[in-house]
């Protein structure tokens, strides 16, 4: 039955459990973003940047529905995104995310208190950032975008090679500046905190608990140290050859990846095996393969 359905439906609307999971993530993320707007941001006149923040400013001056403004504001960006970023996968998921956020934002206003839960600005910033950041993260995990500054930032990066972080800063700073003119500069300052915190939360949601640690170990005792790591931590080790730039001496460099909870154990066993070793510990966004998440294509 599933193969017949796949053959009948036109691409990219063909059914797959992977696509169903993606759209479920996007719908859940859109719901949280709309909930954050209606419960925390709009009642306290806090903006989070992008088209949704601009829609709040327009709503303040005209009374036009925020969800409708979000939808209308994303139409030209969606067209530009199709042209510069391309791909039906981008288009379908982004259209679904934008439509869901727009509809839910105007729908939830009928069921939620107009004044929100609290008039405490700090609480609204914190809860608004956590809820909306979680929503953004879920949309990203569904391989979609929430439109607005997401699309514009990627276009600036693709078209003028502007770094993504700078693109977001340029777009969202302009919206927050307009919000400061409308709602006051104190709330604009709170909005900057909100914007940063929601970004951190979104990154945590996307990365999950998969953030790992990498270790580079320069040692004169590569065999004993690697044996300890292999046997005690049950982690793989890659042995590299290095040359000291100052001394010209050949030294071995061990590279391994461990979980956050194994870092102290790794430092202890390296110190006990070779007290003169030099060690650098970094952070990896994801580790895929043996001992970590499976390296499987989506």
For residue 11, what pLDDT band results from cuts at 50, 70 and 90?
A: very low
Q: Is the pLDDT of residue 285 over 90?
A: no
Q: Which among 184, 207, 230 is the end of a domain?
A: 207
Query: Tens of pLDDT along 43-95?
Result: 999 998 888 999 999 999 999 999 999 999 988 888 777 766 556 666 788 88
Residue 87 pLDDT: 60
For residue 2, what pLDDT band results from cuts at 50, 70 and 90?
A: very low
Domain presence at residue 67: yes
Query: Tens of pLDDT along 223-266?
Result: 999 999 998 888 899 999 888 888 888 888 999 998 887 888 89
Q: Are residues 113 and 192 in the same domain?
A: yes
CATH number, domain at 272? 3.30.70.120
Q: Are residues 193 and 93 in the same domain?
A: yes
Residue 165 pLDDT: 56
Q: Are residues 180 and 73 in the same domain?
A: yes
Q: Are residues 73 and 31 in the same domain?
A: yes
Q: Is the pLDDT of residue 104 over 70?
A: yes
Average pLDDT over residues 116-131: 94
Q: Residue 156 is part of which domain span?
A: 2-207
Q: Is the pLDDT of residue 297 over 50?
A: no
Q: Are residues 32 and 159 in the same domain?
A: yes
Domain presence at residue 120: yes
Q: Is the pLDDT of residue 283 over 90?
A: no
Q: Are residues 151 and 233 in the same domain?
A: no
Average pLDDT over residues 159-184: 78
Which is it for strands 238-243 and 212-219: parallel, antiparallel or unpaired?
unpaired
In whole angstroms, what is the distance from residue 138 CA to residue 23 CA? 10
Those residues with Cβ within 8 angstroms of residue 254's Cβ, 6 or more apart along the chain or in another chain? 215, 216, 217, 219, 222, 225, 226, 229, 237, 238, 239, 240
* Distance linking the first and last C-alpha atoms of the chain: 22
In whole angstroms, what is the distance from residue 102 CA to residue 202 CA? 20
Q: Are residues 102 and 164 in the same domain?
A: yes
Helix 88-108 vs helix 66-84: angle between axes, to the nearest 10 degrees?
170
Q: 81-90, 116-125, 130-139, 182-191: which range is least confident on average?
A: 81-90
Domain presence at residue 227: yes
Q: Are residues 202 and 219 in the same domain?
A: no
Average pLDDT, the chain: 84
Q: Are residues 27 and 134 in the same domain?
A: yes
In whole angstroms, what is the distance from residue 267 CA to residue 154 CA? 40
Q: Which helix (H) or strand (E) holds 167?
A: helix 164-183
Number of structural domains the chain divides into: 2
CA-nearest of 156, 174, 33 to 100 is 33
């Amino acid at each position: 039955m599933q193969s017949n359905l796949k053959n009948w439906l036109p691409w990219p609307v063909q059914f797959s459990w992977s696509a169903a999971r993606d759209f479920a993530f996007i719908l859940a993320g859109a719901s949280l973003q709309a909930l954050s707007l209606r419960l925390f941001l709009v009642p306290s006149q806090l903006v989070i940047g992008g088209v949704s923040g601009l829609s709040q400013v327009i709503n303040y001056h005209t009374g036009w529905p925020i969800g409708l403004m979000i939808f209308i504001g994303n139409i030209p960006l969606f067209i530009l995104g199709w042209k510069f970023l391309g791909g039906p996968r981008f288009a379908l998921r982004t259209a679904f995310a934008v439509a869901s956020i727009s509809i839910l934002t105007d729908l939830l206003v009928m069921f939620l208190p107009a004044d929100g839960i609290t008039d405490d600005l700090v609480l609204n910033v914190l809860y608004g950032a956590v809820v909306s950041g979680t929503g953004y993260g879920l949309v990203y995990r569904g391989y979609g975008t929430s439109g607005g500054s997401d699309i514009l930032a990627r276009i600036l990066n693709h078209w003028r090679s502007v770094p993504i972080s700078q693109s977001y800063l340029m777009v969202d700073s302009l919206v927050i500046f307009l919000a400061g003119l409308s709602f006051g500069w104190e709330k604009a300052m709170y909005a900057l905190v909100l914007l940063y915190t929601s970004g951190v939360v979104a990154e945590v949601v996307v990365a999950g608990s998969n953030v790992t640690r990498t270790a580079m170990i320069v040692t004169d005792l590569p065999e004993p140290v690697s044996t300890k790591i292999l046997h005690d931590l049950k982690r793989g080790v890659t042995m590299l050859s290095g040359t000291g730039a100052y001394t010209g001496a050949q030294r071995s460099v061990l590279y391994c990846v461990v979980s956050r909870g194994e870092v102290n154990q790794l430092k202890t066993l390296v110190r006990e095996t070779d007290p003169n070793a030099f060690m650098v510990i970094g952070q990896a966004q994801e580790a895929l393969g043996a001992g970590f998440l499976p390296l499987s294509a989506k």
